[in-house]
Amino acid sequence: MIKVIIGFILLLVGLSYLYRPDSIIKINSWVKANVFNDQVIINHRRKIGVVIILIGIIFLCIGIN
């Protein structure tokens, strides 16, 4: 199920790159301001790291089965 959701999200992002580049620019500026902000990384690095590790473990388990 998760593979289908991720595939659908990637399909939508790819179509956005082709047909709606202005929306990709808006998303890129939002991500730069909120996700990759230095203050966010400094204050929440442990939480973000644990979440990324858990997501990686989940994808590994799905891929192995």
Write out pLDDT tens, residues 4-20.
787 888 888 888 888 88
Answer yes or no: is pLDDT of 41 > 80. no
Give the pLDDT mean for 32-51: 81
Cβ atoms of 63 and 3 within 8 Å: the answer is no
Nearest-angstrom CA–CA distance, 39 and 29: 16
Answer yes or no: is pLDDT of 26 > 80. yes
35 three-class SS: coil
